[in-house]
Amino acid sequence: MSIDPVLLAIHDQGTLFEVTRVIVSATADVDELMRRVARTVRERHQYGFVLIYLSQPDGGLRLAGGAIGSGEPNPGALDDIINRVVARSQSRVEAGGRLWRVAVPVRDDGSLLGVIALGLDGPVRVRGRTVMLAETLAGQIAVGIQTANLHQRQIELAAQLERARIAREIHDGIAQSMHALNLELESCAIVAERDDDPLRGRLQNLVGLARNTLLDMRSYIYDLSPIVPGEETIASLVEMQTREFQSISGIPVRLDIQGELPELSASVCAGLHRILQAALGNVLRHAVASEVIVALAAESGSVRLSVKDNGIGFDPERPTLGYGLSNMRHRAEDMGGTFEVSSAIGAGTEGVVRVPVPGVPAR
Ligand SMILES: Nc1ncnc2c1ncn2[C@@H]1O[C@H](COP(=O)(O)OP(=O)(O)OP(=O)(O)O)[C@@H](O)[C@H]1O
Ligand SMILES: [Mg+2]
């Protein structure tokens, strides 16, 4: 018995309506959206499977959402038809015996966003209307992907604004009070020194503590501030940090920036900033140094940043409880680089980080 084509067309319209409802329900999670679309379509048409693949930045595809009935092929068995759709950017139908598959590109302004594939191992024959339905669904999926991306961007923007707000509040509030407390403690320590007050030692400890806290606070403010690619150069970041360290610690810093430095990505700038912050923190907490040299230079195929102090030094072979040095090493390695520390008791300390950068010619 054949089904009235008008009823089938109405059923297809119903599917498109349901999918539109899923898409406008607006989720920022594109995979969740694709799963819901796939499930809706499969359930309404009793297809064996509905799979939605999305294009990746590296040019490949990944399965973002799928609804698969029992006894259907695993997604790997569809590689061939999917690859053909991608290569030609055209819909494709394959049918033989009881088996049929339809795969359609999901496009936006000519660029390929993904592929939707559906099919069945069963008695339903593929018809022209199935291809038309899949092509219309592909258009809806393209809108869905853009809506989800927009939603995601809005969430990120809201989070960034909130972080910037917290950073501003710390900067204008606690950091200012901490600074004032610091100055006040320092003058108390000076008076106590003059009067040979027994409180002298304690006040000096408090001064150290307050300086450390202020330095930590500066690094929280930096962590919370959005990193805008291209806004800061690594040289300006290092200059700002060393200036800040010098004014908080009172330890003179010699800054040595050499050569033409390449533009670094925001994540490499952030990584180097945090390594420098931890290294300067160590100088303040442990070194008892009277001078620090911070050097930044473009080297063969990489950028080199070092922090050298003339303090008491330590034995790098001796295990310690801290995480600072190992964090610095991990951060450097995450950027594809290295971190080395050299020190000896009584002979100061030097930490060197090297990060490979494509823009710097290898010698
Ligand atoms: N510049 C330095 N001068 C002297 N000693 C240092 C210096 N840098 C590190 N050290 C020694 O190495 C140890 C390990 O440093 P690390 O940064 O790993 O830990 P930490 O500073 O003790 O704690 P945190 O986890 O807060 O960084 C320090 O405790 C200190 O004894
Ligand atoms: Mg440390």
Average pLDDT, the chain: 87
Answer whether residue 345 shows pLDDT above 90. yes
Q: How far apart are the CA of 325 and the centre of ligand 1, in A?
A: 7
Q: How far apart are the CA of 347 and the centre of ligand 1, in A?
A: 15
CB 80, CB 98: distance < 8 Å = no
Is residue 94 within a helix (H) or strand (E), and if so which, with residue range?
strand 92-96
Which residue has the least CA distance to atom 6 on ligand 1? 286
Fold of 5-155: Beta-Lactamase (3.30.450)
CB under 8 A, 24+ apart: contacts of 31-35: 31/64, 31/65, 32/65, 33/65, 33/144, 33/145, 33/148, 34/64, 34/65, 34/141, 34/144, 35/64, 35/65, 35/66, 35/67
Domain residue ranges in the chain: 5-155, 173-225, 231-363
Tell me the pLDDT tens digit for each residue of 324-338.
999 999 999 999 999
Tell me the pLDDT tens digit for each residue of 289-310.
999 999 999 988 899 999 999 9
Task: Map residue 228 onto helix, strand or coil.
Answer: coil
Q: What percent of the chain has pLDDT over 90?
A: 40
Burial of 151 (0-12, 13-18, 19+ CB in 10 A): middle
Q: Is the CB of 54 under 6 A from ligand 1?
A: no
Which residue has the least CA distance to atom 22 on ligand 1? 322
Tell me the pLDDT tens digit for each residue of 132-165.
999 999 999 999 998 888 888 888 888 888 888 8
**pTM surpassing 0.75?**
no
Phi, psi of 17 (to 5 degrees): -65, -45
Tell me the pLDDT tens digit for each residue of 227-273.
665 667 899 989 989 998 998 888 999 999 998 888 888 889 889 99
Answer whether residue 363 shows pLDDT above 60. no
Q: How far apart are the CA of 323 and the centre of ligand 2, in A?
A: 7
User: What architecture does CATH give domain 231-363?
Assistant: 2-Layer Sandwich (3.30)
Hey, which of 292, 314, 317, 328 would you mutate to test ligand 1's pocket, going by the most ligand atoms within 8 Å of its Cβ?
314
Q: How far apart are the CA of 285 and the centre of ligand 1, in A?
A: 8
Answer whether residue 343 shows pLDDT above 60. yes
Other Cβ atoms less than 10 A from the Cβ of 9: the count is: 13
Q: Is the CB of 274 under 6 A from ligand 1?
A: no
Tokens of 346: 């009584």
Q: Is the CB of 286 under 6 A from ligand 1?
A: yes
Q: Is the CB of 322 under 6 A from ligand 1?
A: yes
